[in-house]
Amino acid sequence: MKSDSPYLSVIVPVYNEIKRLRNLERINAYLQKKKYTVELIIVDDGSNKKTRDLLYRSKKRLRFKLIHYKKNQGKGFAIREGMLEASGKYRIFTDIDLSTPIESLERFLSALKKYDVVIATRKGKTSEVLVHQSFLRESMGKFFTFLSRQTTGVDVSDFTCGFKGFSRNAAIRIFSQLRTKRWSFDTESLFLANKYGYSIHEIPVLWTNDSETKVAFPRDIVTSLKDIVLIKIYSFSGKYQSDHEKNNCLY
């Protein structure tokens, strides 16, 4: 992989992932086979010492760029850091648990040639969920999706699946404006994509639930619901306007 002007950037956020860091081997091996240039960016979101040490050891063997900061900020913050640090023409993030297989990447790259934002969905007609979440988690997920659609006006079937791709321009515009640090960043990023007129396309995927999820009930659900309200407040108050839009309002 080359670090200068790569065709693709792959961003992977991690937080205390001592058991799942082995998946970096699979991700790296897959990317190394590609004929186009790729950069792999790992964002360490304030992990504990065991995870941090393992990341530095892995970096000696595998080829990736490591972003690290001491204090945990949240997945949304980590993705934002990775997207803005990236330099690829296309930028895709995936979860370290690989609930959506890294092999899905080619379909996303193909779609990104036509659309600005491409997201995975577990709700499509051809989607396949091999291992489901618990009834409670699936029910809460459906409610969160319903609420996100109603409050943001974005008509997609799955806001939170952890595999999304962006063109360079869309990534920079959206993530430079992102304010949500934790789980609602998916909703905010799609809200901004829609607000700025970017095309959004869903791709049905194969998906397997990882029982060691980092989402904590009910705390993170309450926080996410609050964040959705804040997204609307930010929008109404003009915090998402570009400098050009703000200047136009002065005349």
**Cα radius of gyration rounded to whole Å, the chain:** 18
Write down the residue that tokens 């990023």 correspond to: 189
Q: What is the pLDDT of residues 203-233, one digit of tens each?
A: 999 989 876 666 655 566 677 788 888 999 9
Gap between the terminal Cα atoms of the chain:
48
Q: E strand or H helix at 109, and its extent?
A: helix 105-111
pLDDT given for residue 217 in this prediction: 56
CB-based contact 193:116 (threshold 8 Å)? yes
* Residues of the chain scoring pLDDT < 70: 1-4, 211-221, 242-251
pLDDT given for residue 215 in this prediction: 60
Q: Rounded to an integer, what is the distance from CA 57 to the centroid of its chain?
A: 25
CA dihedral of 240, 243, 244, 248, whole degrees rounded to 10? 80
pLDDT given for residue 145 in this prediction: 84
| Domains of the chain, earliest start first | 8-241 (3.90.550.10)
Long-range contacts of 123-129 (CB under 8 A, 24+ apart): 123/157, 123/158, 124/157, 124/202, 124/203, 124/204, 124/205, 125/204, 126/204, 127/204, 127/205, 127/206, 127/207, 128/204, 128/205, 128/206, 128/207, 129/207, 129/208, 129/209
pLDDT given for residue 192 in this prediction: 97
pLDDT given for residue 76 in this prediction: 95
CB-based contact 201:119 (threshold 8 Å)? yes
- Residue 63 tokens read as 């080829």
pLDDT given for residue 250 in this prediction: 33
CA atoms within 13 A on the CB side of 44: 24
